[in-house]
């Protein structure tokens, strides 16, 4: 419940607002601050006012719990509150600690003076939601920090440390002590109390290089991919700050309202809320007990195991890194050290911090050594027999209550749990490569996984700064099960006439971070080959192209072998079309009797994306994913799906499920490939033909 406190300190009215967890500017907070300001104005003993947030931070902006509700636009609106602050007859000093973002910073910009703690972070991140600051930020910030810095802060949306703004008019004082105490001192000083309040809106903006700065910003945005509307509109609004203030405000407001209705903003806002919703897991509450996470172990020191180890070390968790042989262990330790050395070289980490983290690493060849770990994460080769051996051994040595996790990307977690006498302690923790970088963590709940084990895994995900999404057990879980469907269509598209680079180009133009064939070369093709071989053995009638198998038979396993779908003559960052692959594809088409045809980008995109959507609908109906938005989070954080499109399921909603179903049925008439592939998922069919065609 929001709380507004009001107290007098000499002739200073100190107004503090609290609205956990981030002091969101809800309607109740806005109304409370407005009433407190009116009280201070009416009290003749009050000469100045200090405005601050409670619990160690100023405000992260609007209260997301009110998004889309009448309360978000109820009087006083944020713009009205800001106007009250700026037009106050008595000087207002903002005391800024911790976080000061979005509407919180716009409120502070309207104060007449600002005092910040050195570790405070200030920013206007609205572009991350497909918007621009809508309460005067584009007009006031340039007047305080200059046009160039304002463009950078607003267009990039990244918070800036207070120390980086100390030499601007935005901050009057940056202090290493309590900013509230110093703000009260400043407010009580004759320098402030005896002078008319200086209004930010009245600061003249003389920027002779305005046109050049704007054009340079637009050029940088156009060079990026994709070009989103919000940053461009933000540059327009910032340029308007050179004119009359109220005209600039009107331009900003109009752009804000128009951006609210763009598909990009809708997608970005959906992504924002979907990540927060994913943390709500059936059967897990705040009172669900959790187990300790003081020590960990990683089994397997390959690329994935080393990345998981770094993620744990980054979180300050001591761990044992275990391998079967001395040489493999040495290579694993070298991988971990190499990751940290690279971060030091790039200036992302100090040498002393690298050494502190590496001091938590304990390499070992003995399973007996790791028995006291609270959680052990297996990251060995994707083979059920190999994992059986590992989990039988872990069951013998791990202490009671230890969590046994498998990093399998496709195998049955229930079967793996059955290798132990403690299946309730077993679950999947599917990291994505590189594990220390990628944000997604698929938490796979087995049939017997205990609630406290699941709750502890979610807590671990948070400690590792991952976005954890809970999945049920199936072949591939959420992400890789859908990827398998899309990959099969990508291979069929090559058979039918498209080149790998044409498919990648179409998907990257759609907004994917990388096309499917570039991704395959990056990850490596040997693991996917083993998965296909397993599926053919386990599923009679399983159909998929043999083309990727033939690629592997040539020894082209991706970047690690110098070639996959592409050649890499200048190293992994530079891919070029391969004459070897072109010949392979031509021969393969002749062998299967397919004459190549022209395939346009729209067919490529629709087949690959709707393959995801159709399989996602099956996953949703089977209960493997709790919500369609959870599927979106998986693809946004683990598979490079364009965030501005909101994820595959949200994208399908925006297109219209009836239109998606129509296209799926069209593809079913394609004579090539698997005849049953494009059978519409029952849920997709049912919803598309209903009166309310949307996911849950």
Residue 422 located in a structural domain: yes
Instruction: Check whether residue 24 and residue 102 sit in a common domain.
Output: yes
Q: Could you say which of 471, 500, 529 is where a domain stops?
A: 471
Contact predicate 632/646, CB 8 Å: yes
Instruction: Check whether residue 420 and residue 529 sit in a common domain.
Output: no
Domain CATH code at residue 650? 1.10.1040.50
**Strand bridging mode 426-431 / 440-444:** antiparallel
Name the least confident of 37-46, 75-84, 220-229.
220-229
Residue 290 located in a structural domain: no
Q: What is the pLDDT of residues 342-373, one digit of tens each?
A: 999 999 999 999 999 999 999 999 999 999 99
CA dihedral 177, 95, 148, 223 (to 10 degrees): 90
Instruction: Check whether residue 395 and residue 537 sit in a common domain.
Output: no
Instruction: Check whether residue 163 and residue 304 sit in a common domain.
Output: no
Instruction: Check whether residue 10 and residue 156 sit in a common domain.
Output: yes
Q: What is the mean pLDDT of residues 201-227?
A: 85
Q: What is the pLDDT of residues 648-676, one digit of tens each?
A: 999 999 999 999 999 999 999 998 888 89
Residue 267 located in a structural domain: no
Q: What is the pLDDT of residues 324-345, one digit of tens each?
A: 999 999 999 999 999 999 999 9
How crowded is the C-beta side of 241, counted as CA atoms within 13 Å? 30
Report whether pLDDT(636) > 90.
yes
Q: What is the pLDDT of residues 219-249, one digit of tens each?
A: 898 887 677 999 999 999 999 999 999 999 9
Q: What is the pLDDT of residues 309-328, one digit of tens each?
A: 999 999 999 999 999 999 99
- Residue written as tokens 């007449």? 112
**Residues in Cβ contact with 44 at an 8 Å cutoff, skipping those fewer than 6 apart:** none
Q: How many domains does the chain divide into? A: 3
Domain holding 424, by residue range, is: 296-471
3-state secondary structure 343-390: HHHCCCCCHHHHHHHHCCEEEECCCHHHCCCCEEEECCCCCHHHHHHH
Q: Could you say which of 415, 442, 471 is where a domain stops?
A: 471
Instruction: Check whether residue 50 and residue 155 sit in a common domain.
Output: yes
Residue 273 located in a structural domain: no
Domain CATH code at residue 384? 3.40.50.720
As a whole number, the mean pLDDT across the chain is 94
**Residues in Cβ contact with 641 at an 8 Å cutoff, skipping those fewer than 6 apart:** 511, 512, 632, 635, 647, 648
Q: Which positions are catalytic? A: 106, 126
Q: What is the pLDDT of residues 462-483, one digit of tens each?
A: 999 999 999 999 999 999 999 9
| CA distance linking residue 153 with residue 173, whole number of Å | 20
Q: What is the mean pLDDT of residues 140-155?
A: 94
**Residues in Cβ contact with 339 at an 8 Å cutoff, skipping those fewer than 6 apart:** 306, 307, 310, 436
Instruction: Check whether residue 435 and residue 346 sit in a common domain.
Output: yes
Instruction: Check whether residue 434 and residue 518 sit in a common domain.
Output: no
Instruction: Check whether residue 304 and residue 231 sit in a common domain.
Output: no
Full-model pTM = 0.92
Residue 370 located in a structural domain: yes
Residue 281 located in a structural domain: no
Instruction: Check whether residue 515 and residue 563 sit in a common domain.
Output: yes
Residue 647 located in a structural domain: yes
Residue 269 located in a structural domain: no
Instruction: Check whether residue 357 and residue 335 sit in a common domain.
Output: yes
Q: Could you say which of 260, 288, 305 is where a domain stops?
A: 260
Confidence band, pLDDT 50/70/90 cuts, at residue 277:
very high
Residue 141: both structure tokens together? 């910030």
Instruction: Check whether residue 322 and residue 441 sit in a common domain.
Output: yes
């Amino acid at each position: 419940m929001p709380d507004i406190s009001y107290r007098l300190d000499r002739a200073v009215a100190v107004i503090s607002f609290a609205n956990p967890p981030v002091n969101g500017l809800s309607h109740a907070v806005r109304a409370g601050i407005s009433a407190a300001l009116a009280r201070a104005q009416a009290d003749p003993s009050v000469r100045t006012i200090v405005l601050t947030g409670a619990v160690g931070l100023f405000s992260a902006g609007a209260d997301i719990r009110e998004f889309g509700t009448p309360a978000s636009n109820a009087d006083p609106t944020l713009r009205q509150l800001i106007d009250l602050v700026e037009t106050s007859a008595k000087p207002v000093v903002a005391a800024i600690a911790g976080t000061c973002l979005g509407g919180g910073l716009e409120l502070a910009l309207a104060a007449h003076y600002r005092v910040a703690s050195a570790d405070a972070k200030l920013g206007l991140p609205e572009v991350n939601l497909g918007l621009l600051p809508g309460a005067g930020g584009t007009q006031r910030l340039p007047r305080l920090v200059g046009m160039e810095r304002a463009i950078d802060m607003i267009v990039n949306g990244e918070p800036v440390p207070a120390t980086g703004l100390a030499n601007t008019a935005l901050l009057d004082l940056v202090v290493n002590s309590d900013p509230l105490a110093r703000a009260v001192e400043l407010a009580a000083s004759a320098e402030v109390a005896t002078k008319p309040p200086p209004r930010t809106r009245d600061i003249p903006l003389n920027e002779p290089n305005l046109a050049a700065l704007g054009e340079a910003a637009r050029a940088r945005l156009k060079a990026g991919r994709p070009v989103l509307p919000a940053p461009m509109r933000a540059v327009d609004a910032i340029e308007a700050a050179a004119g009359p203030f109220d005209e600039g405000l009107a331009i900003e407001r109009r752009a804000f309202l128009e951006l609210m209705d763009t598909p990009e903003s809708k997608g970005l806002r959906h992504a924002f809320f979907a990540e927060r919703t994913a943390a709500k897991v059936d059967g897990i509450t705040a009172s669900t007990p959790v187990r300790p996470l003081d020590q960990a172990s990683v089994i397997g020191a390959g690329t994935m195991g080393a990345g998981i180890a770094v993620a744990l070390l980054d979180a300050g968790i001591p761990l044992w890194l275990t391998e079967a042989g001395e040489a493999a262990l040495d290579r694993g330790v070298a991988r971990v050290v190499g990751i940290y050395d690279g971060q030091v070289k790039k200036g992302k980490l100090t040498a002393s911090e690298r050494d502190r983290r590496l001091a938590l690493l304990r390499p070992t060849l003995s399973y007996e050594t790791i028995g006291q770990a609270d959680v052990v994460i297996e990251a060995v080769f994707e083979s059920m027999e190999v994992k059986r051996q590992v989990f039988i051994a872990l069951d013998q040595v791990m202490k009671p209550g230890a969590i046994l996790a498998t990093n399998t990307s496709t195998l049955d977690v229930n079967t793996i749990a059955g290798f132990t006498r403690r299946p309730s302690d077993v679950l999947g923790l599917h990291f994505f490569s590189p594990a220390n970088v990628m944000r997604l963590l698929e938490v796979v709940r087995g049939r017997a996984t205990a609630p406290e084990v699941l709750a502890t895994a979610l807590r671990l995900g948070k400690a590792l700064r991952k976005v954890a999404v809970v999945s049920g057990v199936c072949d591939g879980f959420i992400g890789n099960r859908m990827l398998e469907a899309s990959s099969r269509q990508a291979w069929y598209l090559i058979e039918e006439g498209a080149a790998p680079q044409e498919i990648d180009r179409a998907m990257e133009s759609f907004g994917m971070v990388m096309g499917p064939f570039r991704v395959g070369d990056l990850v490596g093709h040997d693991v996917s080959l083993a998965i296909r071989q397993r599926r053919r053995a386990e599923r009679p009638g399983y159909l998929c192209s043999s083309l990727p198998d033939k690629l592997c038979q040539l020894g082209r396993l991706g970047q690690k072998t110098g070639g996959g779908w592409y050649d890499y003559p200048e190293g992994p960052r530079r891919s070029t079309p391969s004459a070897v692959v072109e010949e392979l594809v031509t021969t393969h088409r002749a062998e299967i009797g397919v004459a190549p045809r022209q395939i346009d980008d729209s067919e490529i995109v629709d087949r690959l994306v709707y393959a995801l959507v159709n399989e996602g609908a099956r996953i949703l109906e089977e209960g493997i994913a709790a919500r369609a938005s959870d599927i979106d989070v998986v693809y946004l954080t683990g598979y490079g799906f364009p965030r501005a499109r909101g994820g595959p399921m949200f994208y399908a909603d925006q297109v219209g499920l009836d239109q998606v179903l129509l296209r799926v049925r069209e593809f079913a008439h394609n004579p090539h490939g698997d005849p049953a592939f494009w059978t519409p998922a029952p849920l997709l069919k049912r919803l598309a033909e209903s009166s309310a065609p949307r996911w849950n």
